[in-house]
Amino acid sequence: AQSVAQPEDQVNVAEGNPLTVKCTYSVSGNPYLFWYVQYPNRGLQFLLKYITGDNLVKGSYGFEAEFNKSQTSFHLKKPSALVSDSALYFCAVRDMGGSARQLTFGSGTQLTVLP
Amino acid sequence: DAGVTQSPTHLIKTRGQQVTLRCSPKSGHDTVSWYQQALGQGPQFIFQYYEEEERQRGNFPDRFSGHQFPNYSSELNVNALLLGDSALYLCASSQGTSGTDTQYFGPGTRLTVL
C-alpha cells in the first residue's frame, strides 16, 4: 500500500522569507513523488515531480523539492515566499514497484504568506 | 492548447438521483483518471480509463461507474446519490500508463446532494 502524510495542516510565513511544506511517504517499492497546488474553487495545478536522478527537483514558480530516501521525505521549498503563493498544497505518491497507477494524496497543507 | 475541461461546473441533485459528469482530456493525452475531493480532504482515486477500459479502481462502490469514448473523453456516473457523495469531482488526464506520467487536472465539478 502507498500513503502520504503532510504533518502540518497550516503553515504561515512572512513574504520574502523561505518556506517549507513537509511531506513524508510510505511505499513498498521506489516512489514517484509529486507536488500540486490548489487555489480556491479550482482544480490542482502540477508543480513538480521526482522520478529518479537528482534528489533536488526544480519546478514551476520557483518551487523546488528535495527527495530524501533515508527519511522517506519530499519537502517542498521556496527561497523567497510571495503573497500569491498562498494556497493549498498537496503531496502525492505512486509506488513504482506496485501495479497501482493512481496517485495517493496527502490531506493537504494550507500555506499562508503574510505581507 | 486546451487543458483538461470538465462539465458542468456545478450541479445540485437530491438523494437517490443519478448524475453524469464529463471530462475532455488535454490534447495528446489518452488516459483519464477520476478523483473525489471531499471538503477539507485530499483527492481520493475513483478509477482510471485507458483504451476505453477501466484499468484500475479505488475503494468506491459500484454506484460509481464510468466510460471512455474513442476520442479519449470520459464520463463519470453516480447512481442512487447519497448525501456523502457531495464533493468536488476532479478529472485528470495523462499520456499512457507507464507510472512516470504526470496527471494534469481539470477545474472540477462541484456536486451538491440535498
Cis before A7 (ω within 30): no
CB contact under 8 Å between B4 and A43, yes or no, is: yes
Nearest alpha carbon to residue A100 among B72, B92, B98, B95: B98
Best residue of B103, B104, B111 to probe chain A, by most A CBs closer than 10 Å: B103
- CA torsion sign for A60, B44, B90, B30 is positive
Chain A residues with CB under 8 Å of B56 CB are 99-102
What grid cell was written down for B61?
Answer: 462502490
* Mean pLDDT of each 10-residue bin along chain A, 115 residues long: 94 98 92 94 91 92 96 97 97 78 92 97
CB contact under 8 Å between B103 and A46, yes or no, is: yes
Closest Cα of chain A to B35: distance in Å? 9
- Give the angle subtended at the CA of B105 by the CAs of B84 and B96, to the nearest 5°: 115
CB contact under 8 Å between B42 and A34, yes or no, is: no
**How many structural domains are present in chain B?**
1
Q: How far apart are the first and last CA of chain A?
A: 41
CB contact under 8 Å between B58 and A102, yes or no, is: yes
Interface of A with B in 28-47 (CB under 8 A): 32, 34, 36, 41-46
Nearest CA in chain B to A40: B107
**How many structural domains are present in chain A?**
1
Which structural domain range is residue A65 located in? 3-114
Nearest alpha carbon to residue A88 among A32, A44, A46, A26: A44
CB neighbour list of residue B98: distance below 8 Å, 6 or more residues apart: none
**CATH number, domain with residue B83:** 2.60.40.10
CB neighbour list of residue A52: distance below 8 Å, 6 or more residues apart: none
Which structural domain range is residue B43 located in? 5-98
Asked if residue B107 is part of any domain, the answer here is: no
Nearest CA in chain A to B89: A43
Share of chain B above pLDDT 70, in %: 99
Q: Are A11 and A91 in contact (CB under 8 A)?
A: no
Amino acid at B79: N
pLDDT digits (tens, 9 = 90+) for B1-28: 679 999 999 999 999 999 999 999 999 9
Strands B5-7 and B53-57: unpaired
Q: What is the overall mean pLDDT for chain B?
A: 94
Chain A residues with CB under 8 Å of B45 CB are 102-104
What grid cell was written down for B33?
Answer: 483518471
Cα separation, B7 vs B21, in Å, equals 6
Separation in Å, CA A102 to CA B48, B57, B74, B87, B102: 8, 9, 16, 19, 11
Of B40, B55, B105, the CB nearest to A44: B105
pLDDT digits (tens, 9 = 90+) for B40-77: 899 999 999 999 999 989 999 999 999 999 999 999 99
**CATH number, domain with residue A65:** 2.60.40.10
Q: Are A74 and A20 in contact (CB under 8 A)?
A: no
